[in-house]
C-alpha cells in the first residue's frame, strides 16, 4: 500500500490523537475495525509471530497502595499473604525453568509502591543473572526515581512495566494513593534512562468505553509510545473493591486490542491478564486484531493463566510461532 502523503498512512505513528477520534475507532463495525488493525499490524510485524513473556512475583503482597483490582494490596482481605523479597538464586532457578519452557522475556514483579535504594543491589543481581541466561529482562517495581532507572539499565534491564491502568477521568475511582501524573513521571524517568517502556492498562473495571478510549489516548499521546502495550482483562479478586466487576465481554475486549494496535502501531500489544477465562477462539480474534505477545506459565503474579500445554496446542492450531528474539526491539515513535 503506497501513500503519497505519509501522514495519511494509518500505519504511521501519530501523537496528536484526540479522545473523540479514538472513541470513533471503537464505533467502526467490528469486522472492518479488525481488518484495519490487522492491516496496520502487518506493516510493522510478522502476524504469525507472538512474543512470549513469563512473570514471576519476586515480592508478593503487603503493598501499601490501594489499587482497587489488586490481590496484593494490604488494604484488602484477599487471602494473599505478604512475603519477603525472594533470594536471587531462587529467582534464577525460576528464570531457567521459564527459558526451558520457551519464554523469551522474564518479567519480575514486586508489590511495592516504589523501589527503595536498599533493595537495588538484590534486584540488580536478579536482572544481571536473568540477562546472562540469554533472556530479555523486565521488572515492575512501582514508582522509580531517575537514578534508580539508570542503575537498573546498568544492571542489564531491557523493559520497565508501569501501567496507566485506565483513563485519567476514571483513575480516581480505582486508586487514590498515587496520582496519574506520578505514573507518567516514572515512565519519563524510564525512557530517559534508555529503558524500553511497557505500559498499558486494564478493562472490565466498570469503566465506560469513553474511559477505555481515554486510556488509549493517554498512551498514544505520551512523548514516546509504549514499546510494549499490555491490555489486561480484569482478573476479579474476591475481597478487592473491583472483585464483583462485570466483564466488558469478548467483542469489546477485541475492539480494545484493535484500537490499541491502530493508535500505537509499532507497539508490541500484549494480550495480558484474562486469557484464563477466554476461549481459544476469542484469543485467536485478539491475535487477528493485532495482539502479538502473551504471558505463558500457569500463574501470572497471583492469579491463574492457561497451562503451557494448552498454549502450545493453540499456537500449533493457529500456526503461530514465537517472535524472533530482538524483533520487538524496533524503536517505537
Binding residues with ligand DTB: total (CB under 6 A): 16
How far apart CA 253 and CA 240 sit, in angstroms, is 22
Residue 229 site contact among ligand SF4, ligand DTB, ligand SAM, none (CB < 5 to 8 Å, cut-off depends on kind) = none
Using CB under 6 A as the criterion, what x/- string covers residues 268-297 for binding ligand DTB?
----xx------------------------
CB of 246 vs ligand DTB, minimal distance in Å: 18
Q: How far apart are CA 112 and CA 7, in angstroms?
A: 42
- 261 alpha carbon, distance to own chain's centre: 13
Active-site residue, 286 included: no
Closer CB to ligand DTB, residue 36 or residue 214?
214
Judged by CB under 6 A, which of 94, 165, 211, 227 binds ligand SAM? Answer: 165
DSSP annotation string for 123-146: HHHHHHHHHHTT-EEEEE-SB--H
- Name the catalytic one among 261, 270, 275, 286: 270
Size of the site for ligand SF4 (CB under 6 A): 9
Instruction: Tell me which residue has cell 511497557.
Output: 198
- With CB under 5 to 8 Å by kind, the binding choice for 165 among ligand DTB, ligand SAM, ligand SF4, none is ligand SAM
DSSP sequence for 213-272 = HHHHHHHHTSSS--SEEEEEEP---TTSTTTTPPP--HHHHHHHHHHHHHHSTTSEEEE-
CB 8, min distance to ligand DTB, A: 32
Residue 270 appears among annotated catalytic residues: yes
CA dihedral (128, 331, 305, 317) positive or negative: negative
Q: 167 or 230, CB closer to ligand DTB? A: 230
Compute the distance between CA of residue 140 and CA of residue 195 in angstroms, rounded to an integer: 12
CB of residue 3 vs ligand SAM: minimum separation in angstroms? 35
Q: Which of 163, 197, 266, 292 binds ligand SAM (CB under 6 A)?
A: 163
CA distance 169 to 179: 12
| Nine-digit cell string for 194 | 534508555
Restricted to residues 119-148, the positions that interact with ligand SF4 (CB under 6 A) are 142
Per CB under 6 A, which of residues 236..255 are in contact with ligand SAM?
237
Sole binder of ligand SF4 in the list 19, 22, 25, 70 (CB under 6 A)? 70
Comparing CB distances to ligand SF4, the nearer of 97 and 173 is 173
Catalytic residue flag (residue 199): no
Q: Which residue has the cell 498454549?
A: 311
76 is an interface residue for ligand SAM by CB under 6 A: no
Residue 36, φ and ψ in degrees, nearest 5: -65, -45
Do 205 and 232 form a contact (C-beta atoms < 8 A)?
no
Nearest to 45 by CA among 249, 198, 227: 227
| Catalytic residue positions, numbered | 63, 67, 70, 107, 138, 198, 270
Contact footprint for ligand DTB (CB under 6 A): 55, 71, 109, 140, 161, 163, 200, 230, 232, 235, 272-273, 300-303
Contact footprint for ligand SAM (CB under 6 A): 69-70, 109, 111-112, 140, 142, 162-163, 165, 202, 232, 234-235, 237, 273, 301
Amino acid at each position: 500500500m503506497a501513500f503519497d502523503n505519509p501522514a495519511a498512512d494509518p500505519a504511521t505513528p501519530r501523537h496528536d490523537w484526540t479522545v473523540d477520534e479514538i472513541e470513533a475507532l471503537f464505533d467502526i463495525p467490528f469486522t472492518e475495525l479488525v481488518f484495519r488493525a490487522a492491516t496496520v499490524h502487518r506493516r510493522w510485524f510478522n502476524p504469525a509471530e507472538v512474543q512470549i513473556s513469563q512473570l514471576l512475583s519476586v515480592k508478593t503482597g503487603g503493598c501499601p497502595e490501594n489499587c482497587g483490582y489488586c490481590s496484593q494490596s494490604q488494604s484488602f482481605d484477599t487471602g494473599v499473604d505478604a512475603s519477603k523479597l525472594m533470594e536471587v538464586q531462587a529467582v534464577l532457578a525460576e528464570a531457567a525453568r521459564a527459558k526451558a519452557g520457551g519464554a523469551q522475556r522474564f518479567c519480575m514483579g514486586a508489590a511495592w509502591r516504589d523501589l527503595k535504594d536498599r533493595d537495588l543491589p538484590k534486584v540488580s543481581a536478579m536482572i544481571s543473572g536473568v540477562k546472562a541466561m540469554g533472556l530479555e529482562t523486565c521488572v515492575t517495581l512501582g514508582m522509580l526515581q531517575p537514578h534508580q532507572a539508570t542503575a537498573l539499565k546498568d544492571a542489564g534491564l531491557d523493559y520497565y512495566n508501569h501501567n496507566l491502568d485506565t483513563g485519567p477521568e476514571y483513575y480516581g475511582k480505582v486508586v487514590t494513593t498515587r496520582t496519574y501524573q506520578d505514573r507518567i513521571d516514572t515512565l519519563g524517568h524510564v525512557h530517559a534512562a534508555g529503558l524500553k517502556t511497557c505500559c498499558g492498562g486494564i478493562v472490565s473495571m466498570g469503566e465506560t468505553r469513553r474511559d477505555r478510549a481515554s486510556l488509549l489516548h493517554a498512551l498514544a499521546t505520551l512523548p514516546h509510545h509504549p514499546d510494549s502495550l499490555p491490555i489486561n482483562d480484569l482478573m476479579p479478586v474476591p475481597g478487592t473493591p473491583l472483585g464483583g466487576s462485570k466483564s466488558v465481554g469478548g467483542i469489546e475486549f477485541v475492539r480494545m486490542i484493535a484500537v490499541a494496535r491502530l493508535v500505537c502501531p509499532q507497539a508490541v500489544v500484549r494480550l495480558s491478564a484474562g486469557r484464563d477465562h477466554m476461549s481459544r477462539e476469542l484469543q485467536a480474534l485478539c491475535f487477528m486484531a493485532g495482539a502479538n505477545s502473551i504471558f505463558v506459565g500457569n500463574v501470572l503474579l497471583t492469579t491463574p493463566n492457561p497451562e503451557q500445554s494448552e498454549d502450545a496446542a493453540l499456537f500449533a492450531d493457529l500456526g503461530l510461532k514465537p517472535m524472533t528474539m530482538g524483533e520487538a526491539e524496533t524503536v517505537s515513535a
